[in-house]
Structure 1
Amino acid sequence: MHFEITVDIDAAPETVWNLLKDVERWPEMTESITSVEILDKPFTLSSRARVSQPKLPAAVWKVTAFDENKTFTWESRSPGVTTAAAHDILPKPDGTVAVRLTLTQKGPLAPVISLLTGRLSRRYVTMEANGLKTKSESAT
């Protein structure tokens, strides 16, 4: 499964980045996240976080790519499937940003997991993008 959503956010890149990388506060932005606990602080490359979401088992995510003020990707592994989520800030000429969130699942069980949870996962990523937009725009 591969799902991608891009939202335009009327806020400065720094504002959006600071909210995006503050993963423990994501439950304040979206109902798709119940809790996030950073297991390795500070939150940067190789950090792990335990993420709890409604209707899904808690998962540990490990940051596999991190470029301050621009992007981070983290992965969660379970038997037969690896899920990767990328979070990209794309600056626009007017000083605002577009944010692209991408969710990709790979592995022998990815097609089955996609059938079982794909619709919910797409809904949650959309909720997260919209929640980030709302929180970022109200912070300015």
Structure 2
Amino acid sequence: MPGLQHSVVIAAPPERVWAVLVDVERWPSLIPTVDSVERLDAGPLAVGARTRLRQPRLPEAVWTVTELTEGSSFTWESHSPGATVVASHVVEPHADGSRLRLSVTMTGPLSRIGWAMTRSLTHRYVDLEADAIAGAARSAD
């Protein structure tokens, strides 16, 4: 199963990192790899919630939350013909504040081809996203 995982330690408490992470509607103003976000459901992020996400150089995707542990993690997935992309977001306490772990995996009959086409872009985007979330969490008051 193609994929990647990226971790970053953030000098901010887990609650602050979590608040930035789940406020997906603010991502376009915080994260340079997100052009627009449209929540398709009202209320806080929860299992079953759907979000339309537009990113440069990638097709528009609808992401559905499949797992959520309040204050620490959420996973969502997006389906396209022949492939499913799963993205996990985990915030853990760390001696220096928090650790943010982001992971992306791709499954399905076309996943190896899809991953070959998007691997380097996905690596770059995940690195940029982790850095942007870290920066926003450190500067939040």
Paired-residue identity, %: 42
31, 50, 53: which one pairs with 1:51?
53
CA distance in 1, matches of 2:65, 2:123: 21
Instruction: Please give the per-residue CA displacement for 1:114-137, whole angstroms capped at 9, x wherever unaligned.
Output: 111111111111110000011111
Instruction: Spell out the pairing of 1:56-67 with structure 2 (5 A cutoff).
Output: 56-67=58-69
Unaligned runs of 5+ in 1: none
Instruction: Find the counterpart in structure 1 of residue 40 from structure 2.
Output: 39
CA distance in 1, matches of 2:95, 2:120: 34
Instruction: Find the counterpart in structure 2 of residue 136 from structure 1.
Output: 137
Unaligned runs of 5+ in 2: none
Q: Secondary structure in 2 aligned to 1:40?
A: coil
RMSD, aligned CA: 1.0
TM-score (norm 2): 0.95
Larger mean CA deviation between 37-46 and 104-113 belongs to 37-46
CA distance in 2, matches of 1:41, 1:81: 27
Instruction: Find the counterpart in structure 2 of residue 79 from structure 1.
Output: 81
The letter of the residue matching 1:92 is H
The letter of the residue matching 1:11 is A
CA distance in 1, matches of 2:99, 2:29: 21
Q: Secondary structure in 2 aligned to 1:57?
A: coil
Shift of 1:93: 4.0
The letter of the residue matching 2:70 is E
TM-score (norm 1): 0.96
